[in-house]
Amino acid sequence: MMNRSMKSSIPELLGTLGSSIFSFFLAWEMIRRYCPRQVLDFLGKFFNKVSNFFNPNIQISIYEFLGNNLKPHDAYPIVEAYLSVNSSKTAKKLKAEKVKDSNKLVLSMDEYEKITDEFQGIQVKWVSTKVRSSQRPMPMGIFSSFEPEKRYYKLVFHKKNRDFVFGSYLEHVMKKGTEISQKNRQRKLFTNSHHKSWSYIVFEHPANFDTFAMDPEKKEAIVEDLLTFSKSKDFYARIGKAWKRGYLLYGPPGTGKSTMIAAMANLLDYDIYDLELTSVRDNTDLRRLLSETSGKSIIVIEDIDCSLDLTGQRKKKEEKKEIEKGKREESGSKVTLSGLLNFIDGLWSACGGERIIVFTTNYVEKLDPALTRRGRMDKHIELSYCCFEAFKVLAKNYLLIEEHPLFESIRLLMEVTKITPADVAENLMPKSPKEDAEKCLQNLIQALEETKKKEEMKELEKKLDEVKTEEKMKDTEETAKEKEETIEEEKQEELKKDV
């Protein structure tokens, strides 16, 4: 039982306590606002030392940005990804963020939330926190020395687990976090066409190797090669080679070179850097752009034959490329072949791993051998006209059929006709809801017959041209002979006159 005097002193006590807390915070706020920076730093250090002395814990902070500049810290998103899985199971306060350009929601620890993590039987604590923005007021409400908020994760653990945390635990966090962020991330298609540096859009091309029309054996070999490459980190490290691989894709227009690049990126989960050489000013810019690419990426240079030649002069490819050429000359690009070769196997390749370089061309024979030699372009892949096996893949993709009585006629026609997969795909695409599989196959047969006729006509025209040139040669031979004879006759007559 409380006596009367005690009862009456409780409100007084609470009052005094309240006013002391209020005075403490007021004093602290005054110090924080008006005290010189150096004094604040000194006080901070002093309190840290005192608390460190009594505290058995060690803490590591991982900031979102490095130092005072806003350079993102690579480790922060990895830790965030690692904690997102853990925190979604144990944390009570979560925040959900929408991934840019997608409908996916990613959960992570809310600010000032704590979770416990356990690895190999040892427990550690993670705290999500931030340094508040500090605005130091000046007279008339003007703010100076504005410092934005800094978010960071704090890892807290007991002193005795120092070696364990610095060794296996942090390694585990980085490995798992990288795996998770790779899985969550959206892939990007970077281009340099309008800017000095890369700009990107989200890469959502549906191409894949299952739907890619090609001879099945060749296709399997390519897939195997790509997968082996992506798993060969240790192998490349052992043989002392940069972890990169070059592919040269060549073949006529519409045979699937660009589609294959998209399928490669989807298979390996890589970003694509579509390098427009015509927009690169010089070799220095080229080097800079390439050093800005990230690992796990495919660097693509399309139509390499009309981008460069040995002397750095531009080559003509065909009429439609003329416009591009004009643009390039306007932009004054001075990238040289040697600059490009340097980039492929020079210094920059040592600045990070797992890159694939793909060149495409319609005219492989025009390329400088220095560019295509093995070691630089490790694999040369010819993408050619559609064969029957490739057609079957397209028929399955477009018409959902694997067999049909018309297949045999198509097979026979394909053996004697050159048609690109792009043309086959176009014919197999129903043009109206009324067009069924049979109608589409008939369309293809018609297209094949027309192409065959055209090819035959071309062949005949070629033969006719050959005959004509032969005859012309004959004619000129005959006229030359006639001329020779007339000259000979004239000579004889002159001789006679002389006699």
Pair 355, 297: CB distance under 8 Å? yes
Secondary element (H or E) of residue 271: strand 271-274
Radius of gyration from C-alpha coordinates of the chain: 37
Among 177, 246, 254, 339, binds ligand ATP (CB under 6 A): 254
Contacts of 420 (CB under 8 A, 6+ apart): 252, 253, 254, 255, 385, 386
Question: In the bound complex, what is the minimum distance in angstroms from residue 424's beta carbon to ligand ATP?
Answer: 8
Token duo for residue 361: 């061309």
Pair 422, 254: CB distance under 8 Å? yes
Contact status: 304 vs ligand ATP (CB under 6 A): no
Question: In the bound complex, what is the minimum distance in angstroms from residue 252's beta carbon to ligand ATP?
Answer: 7
Which of ligand ATP, Mg ion, none lies near 75, with the C-beta cut-off 5 to 8 A by kind? none
Question: In the bound complex, what is the minimum distance in angstroms from residue 392's beta carbon to ligand ATP?
Answer: 12
Contact status: 422 vs ligand ATP (CB under 6 A): yes
How much helix, strand and coil, in percent to the nearest 5, is found in the chain? 55, 20, 30
Whichever of 170 and 422 has its CB closer to ligand ATP, that residue is 422
Which stretches of 321-389 are assigned E, i.e. beta strand?
355-361, 379-382
Which segment (224-232, 270-278, 421-429, 473-481) binds ligand ATP by CB under 6 A?
A: 421-429
Contact status: 421 vs ligand ATP (CB under 6 A): yes
Whichever of 81 and 390 has its CB closer to ligand ATP, that residue is 390
Which stretches of 99-224 are assigned E, i.e. beta strand?
105-109, 114-119, 122-131, 134-138, 142-147, 150-158, 188-191, 199-202
Pair 227, 338: CB distance under 8 Å? no
Among 115, 165, 189, 213, binds ligand ATP (CB under 6 A): 213
Which of ligand ATP, Mg ion, none lies near 272, with the C-beta cut-off 5 to 8 A by kind? none
Token duo for residue 68: 């005072």
Instruction: Give how many residues touch Mg ion by CB under 5 A.
Output: 2
Which segment (137-145, 197-205, 265-273, 419-427) binds ligand ATP by CB under 6 A?
A: 419-427
Contact status: 256 vs ligand ATP (CB under 6 A): yes
Site pattern 75..114 for ligand ATP (x: CB under 6 A): ----------------------------------------
Residues 342-401 that bind ligand ATP (CB under 6 A): 362
Contact status: 257 vs ligand ATP (CB under 6 A): yes
Whichever of 178 and 258 has its CB closer to Mg ion, that residue is 258
Contact status: 306 vs ligand ATP (CB under 6 A): no
Question: In the bound complex, what is the minimum distance in angstroms from residue 259's beta carbon to ligand ATP?
Answer: 3
Secondary element (H or E) of residue 370: helix 369-372
Q: Phi/psi at 222 (nearest 5 deg)?
A: -65, -45
Contact status: 259 vs ligand ATP (CB under 6 A): yes
Whichever of 429 and 460 has its CB closer to ligand ATP, that residue is 429
Instruction: Give how many residues touch ligand ATP by CB under 6 A.
Output: 14
- Other CB atoms within 10 Å distance of the CB of residue 254: 20
Whichever of 157 and 391 has its CB closer to ligand ATP, that residue is 391
> DSSP assignment, residue 378?
-
The H-assigned helical ranges of 35-185 are: 37-54, 75-90, 162-164, 170-184
For 43, left (φ over 0), alpha (ψ -120 to 50), or beta?
alpha
Among 178, 186, 208, 258, binds ligand ATP (CB under 6 A): 258
Pair 62, 155: CB distance under 8 Å? yes
Residue nearest to Mg ion (CB): 258
Which segment (172-180, 210-218, 313-321, 483-491) binds ligand ATP by CB under 6 A?
A: 210-218
Instruction: Give 396's strand partners.
Output: none
**307, burial (CB in 10 Å: exposed 0-12, middle 13-18, buried 19+):** buried
Residues 228-267 that bind Mg ion (CB under 5 A): 257-258
**CA-to-CA distance for 97 and 287, rounded, in angstroms?**
36
Residue nearest to ligand ATP (CB): 256
Summarize as ranges the residues that interact with ligand ATP (CB under 6 A): 212-214, 253-259, 362, 421-422, 425
